[in-house]
Amino acid sequence: MMELKVLAATALWVVVERDYPFATYYQNVDLQRLIQVHPRTVCVDPYSGPGGDPWTLEELGRLRRAGIRPVAYLTLGVVPRFHPDLFQRARELGLLGPEDPRWKGDYAVEFWDPRWQEVLAEKLASLRELGFEGVLFDVIDVWTSRWYVRWFEDVTGRSPDELRELVYRTLARLADVAHSLGMEVYVCAGAAIYDREFGAFVERHGIKVVTENVIATDNGTLQPAEAFMDALEVLMTLSRITDVYDVEYGLDLEDEEVKRRLTLLLGSTRVREVYVTSPAHDRLGVAVVPAGRSGRVGTAEARTGRGESSTAGSQRPHRGVPLIPVVPVGRRGKLRPAQSVHPRAGRRYNPSSRPACGEVPARG
């Protein structure tokens, strides 16, 4: 196990309040504020735009003309009630499973069924036509959730390993569809980052990765040191294969231990950004980026990890260790709209009670 210690005491990272690489913004969207902050890529819920209504062609056009790349949030292993067209279609096809016991309003779906894959392929085409330039798939690590595995075994008589392979097969098909439409593809990885096949898979299919809660839980409580170091070792390799963005919630950026962990994460991996926002994704946060890769950053918009005003410094060399097998901590992603309201959804969706760390799957 690596020691939890600080690297060189130079300014390895900066905090950026605008024009950063990646952001999420799922509810209470202020379009003018979004354009002002100007993240270069923003992941939004297609069903919850300005005013709580679905995003429109004109609104997405404003983002694109401002130089902001809109990415659509879409789930794979479940279908939410607040995505009413998809939910209704899954019900019509008889593909709905049980409700997620932790996130009410999400229902398991037989995503491996060719008919459902065709529904999602058609949805990707409509999202592209609307103006989205990318897609982020969430809930991909379903083979690590016991309730989902039990349902899958009851429906198919097949094993969790076969469920994992079906995830990869379906993601590969949908990534090919998205790329053929000119869309970038992201996944909210959850516990999948600990799967031995994951890195090779995302590299082979040109998929970018979003992680969550590497440094701390949703309320800002630091992860246990062992869990943090396990994730760090995986990200050393994964971030050399593809673009990786980490999303954190409620971090105190003045806390010395948080600073040490940011220094370790950004000093020993090629993670492009740590995006710090609220668990509800109801506002734009700030980004912590490696010094020298912060983009168009001025002294009024960035500060170093030691609290000093600074422009971006020179890029540092990356250091790491070989990836070793670790016991997965089973985190499930929170990149999902909280309290999103859709005119046809019938009720308010509030997954804010989902714990940051879920069940611990067995070593693969």
Ordered domains of the chain (ranges, CATH): 13-304 (3.20.20.70)
Whole-number pLDDT of residue 273:
98
Whole-number pLDDT of residue 11:
59
**Contact criterion met (CB below 8 Å) for 109 and 78:** yes
CA 127 to mean position of chain CA atoms: 19
* Residue 153 structure tokens: 């075994």
Q: What is the H or E stretch that residue 231 is in?
A: helix 225-241
Whole-number pLDDT of residue 293:
60
What's the pTM value of the predicted model, to 2 decimals?
Answer: 0.81
Give the chain's residues under pLDDT 70: 1-11, 293-364
Distance CA 24, CA 20 (A): 12
Q: CB-side exposure of 81: number of CA atoms within 13 Å?
A: 19
Whole-number pLDDT of residue 68:
98
